[in-house]
Structure 1
Amino acid sequence: MTTCVEVCVDSSESLRQALLGGANRIELCASLHLGGLTPSDGFMQQAVRISTVPVYAMIRPRQGDFLYSDDDIEVMLSDIHGAKQRGLAGIVVGSLTPEGFVNEAILRQLVRAADGMGVTFHRAIDQSRNPMEALEIIASIGCERVLTSGCAESALEGATVIKDMVNTFGSHLNIMAGGGVTAENVRGIIAASGVSEVHLSGKTTRPSGMTYTTADASMGAVDVNDYSIAVTCAKKVKAVVSACNK
């Protein structure tokens, strides 16, 4: 069985590296260090032009939880419209109630706005109160896929829960394992969970090309090195693809 390898990227450089490594699908984001936010319109346009595989846009207007206000929803609906206009294959969404259940009303709005695009429900499910009940709702509303770590810190740790998801809902939803996926553990994750799709960033860092640097003015948090650039590594992606298809 062929395994689909999805790679999440947040820059043009990472996009090209993911494609070079053999990614089967791209999740387009901004700010992966925050768990992934909605990519810019310019990045969406460029990704459609560059990518040779389907591109899904993360639709997440801010960092933090998945409890969204009316203003947040307005932004999300506008971003979905933009992704559709740019010709992306799909979107990645999720929304919860204060009590930790899937917010059915909001999810229906988002899926309706996608209007024929593919829809993945992201790892908000790993913060839900009852993941199996959540899957039933997600499937009934029309999502095609769920990304999950099995409610654990990593997909390997959550493989037993992911297997239960696959066994119960695999005929209605694609269950995609994500969270700490590497070439070294991906075969174990697949064997233990039964998934046919995996998700990773394949991140590494490279030094800045700046010949002049300064420590006097940081562009963000003081513990973030502005001269160390996080980027997807084509070799890491290729190694996962190779391991999956042995």
Structure 2
Amino acid sequence: MTTLEICIDNLESLLIAQDAGADRIELCSALALGGLTPSVGLMQQAVRMARIPVYAMIRPRAGDFCFSPDELELMALDIAAARAAGLHGVVVGLLDEHGRVPKAALERLMVAAGPLGVTFHRAIDLSSDWRADLETIVAAGCERILSSGQAASAEQGLETLVLMREQLADRASLMPGAGVNAGNVAHIVAAIGVSEVHMSGMGWRGSAMTSGVAMGASDDGRVNVTDHDKVAAVRQRLG
């Protein structure tokens, strides 16, 4: 059976995702920013509530993936918090100023992760030499790579994803993500030959508040949560 990973940024979505058939959770904060490190409290509560494995995103800020020494130290501390919370794994991604995966920095984070599983995320889609960087990622010990094939969506990046899968040759799992839905997931899985996929299945619900003052550009009357039907439909297509 193909593993279905759902990225979430709140506890309500965790419950929805696992009820709809998710096999694994990528736990984040601020999905609207591409996903940032969740709070320690969110990690701890997710462990208490989840019936499926939970991996924490380790990303200290929005923007690029070229992190300073201070930010790398922060990432190591956040990985330690994920271990202490009892999570199953973490999700990391980093590049240097040349768009290459920095070997020493990645190895440092792998040491911090210890026994935890490690996914390398879509920073690989910004790599200036993904073929060489796949070898760096595999050598460091990452168990899987999340990628859209250096395209806006996994469907658009199918050709590159097939090449990535061939190069990995089962040394690490390739997990396509970005734009995955019930209408294309079966084709993506079959075309690449993968055993896991990643999606958000994002939807929204109205706020319980009847009025309030806007706190910026976002709509405070709307709460973004996982859409049960979107996830369940993909689960059905995957079997």
- Consecutive unaligned residues of structure 2, counting only runs of 5 or more, are none
Query: Aligned-pair distance for 1:142?
Result: 0.5
RMSD, aligned α-carbons = 0.9
Cα distance in 2 for residues equivalent to 1:49 and 1:18: 15
- Consecutive unaligned residues of structure 1, counting only runs of 5 or more, are none
> 1:163 touches 1:195 (CA, 8 Å); kept in 2?
no
More divergent stretch after superposition (52-61 vs 192-201)? 192-201
Give CA-to-partner distance per residue, 1:186-214, whole Å, 9 cap, x none.
01111221111100010011111111234
Q: Which residue does 2:235 correspond to in 1?
A: 241
Cα distance in 1 for residues equivalent to 2:235 and 2:172: 22
Give CA-to-partner distance per residue, 1:107-145, whole Å, 9 cap, x none.
000000000100000000000001111111100010000
Cα distance in 2 for residues equivalent to 1:114 and 1:81: 7
- Is it true that 1:48 corresponds to 2:47 in the alignment? yes
Cα distance in 2 for residues equivalent to 1:204 and 1:38: 21
- Is it true that 1:163 corresponds to 2:140 in the alignment? no
Amino acid at match of 2:98: E
TM-score (norm 1): 0.95
Q: Which residue does 1:101 correspond to in 2?
A: 100
Tell me the secondary structure at the aligned position of residue 211 of structure 1. coil
Q: Which residue does 2:152 correspond to in 1?
A: 153
Amino acid at match of 1:17: I
Q: Which residue does 1:92 correspond to in 2?
A: 91
Query: Aligned-pair distance for 1:30?
Result: 0.1
> 1:37 touches 1:61 (CA, 8 Å); kept in 2?
yes
> After the TM superposition, which parts of structure 1 deviate over 4 Å for at least 4 consecutive aligned residues?
none
Cα distance in 1 for residues equivalent to 2:164 and 2:194: 10
Figure out how many residues of one structure are paired with residues of the other and give that number: 239
Cα distance in 2 for residues equivalent to 1:212 and 1:136: 53
TM-score (norm 2): 0.98
Amino acid at match of 1:91: V
